[in-house]
Amino acid sequence: MGEKNGREGEAERLVDEHYADVLRYCRRHAPAGLAEDAAQETFLRFVRARSRYRERGRARAYLVTIARNVCADMARDRASSWAELPEALPGGGDPGEGDDGRDLASALARLPRSQREALELRYGEGLAVGEVGVVLGMSRFAASRAISSALEALRADLGVSKGERGDVR
């Protein structure tokens, strides 16, 4: 009984600690209106596969990997594509956002999905390069190369040289 309570306590702690991150990821990748369902399904799958988690390292990286799979499953079920990102932000983007933000959003939308997702995981989710590789199912080297290629493509698209102030890193 004590072991069960300990596992349940750890599961609750992980939900409390990582739910907001998983939900944020799902809001960007799940089909419209299904982000909360995707986040819940992510934690359900995590609990079911808890024995494999101990071998994988940081819980956040493992949860994002599961969330990625859940969102992909939901997208397939809805027969929609992950590549459907707008070329420009409707209505000019967030309030107070200038033209540079719209240009960046457009430049990100033009990146190949794998590069865009690598950047999002690295900088949006704060995962280490090795963890990005785990989530995307590639080596650390391949993840690093995807991130570097994406940054170079963004620099070229936005007309920013590598040494310029305000550089995308």
Per-residue pLDDT tens digits for 73-120: 888 776 433 344 344 433 344 433 445 555 778 888 889 988 988 998
Compute CA distances 74 → 39, 60, 67, 128, whole Å: 12, 21, 10, 26
Could you say which residues of the chain have pLDDT below 50? Answer: 1, 79-98, 165-169
Q: Could you give the CA distance from residue 2 to residue 129 in angstroms, rounded to a whole number?
A: 37
**What pLDDT does residue 91 have?**
39
**What pLDDT does residue 19 have?**
92
**What pLDDT does residue 6 have?**
64
pTM of the model: 0.55
**What pLDDT does residue 51 have?**
64
Quick one: CA torsion of 103, 117, 132, 45, rounded to 10 degrees?
A: 140
Q: Are 13 and 49 in contact (CB under 8 A)?
A: no
**What pLDDT does residue 109 have?**
86
Q: Could you give the CA distance from residue 105 to residue 87 in angstroms, rounded to a whole number?
A: 8
Query: Rounded to the nearest 10 degrees, what angle do helices 59-77 and 2-29 cross at?
Result: 50
CA-only gyration radius of the chain, Å: 18
**What pLDDT does residue 84 have?**
42
Compute CA distances 133 → 20, 66, 126, 141, 156, whole Å: 22, 14, 13, 8, 24
List the Cα angle 62/23/68 in 5-degree steps: 45
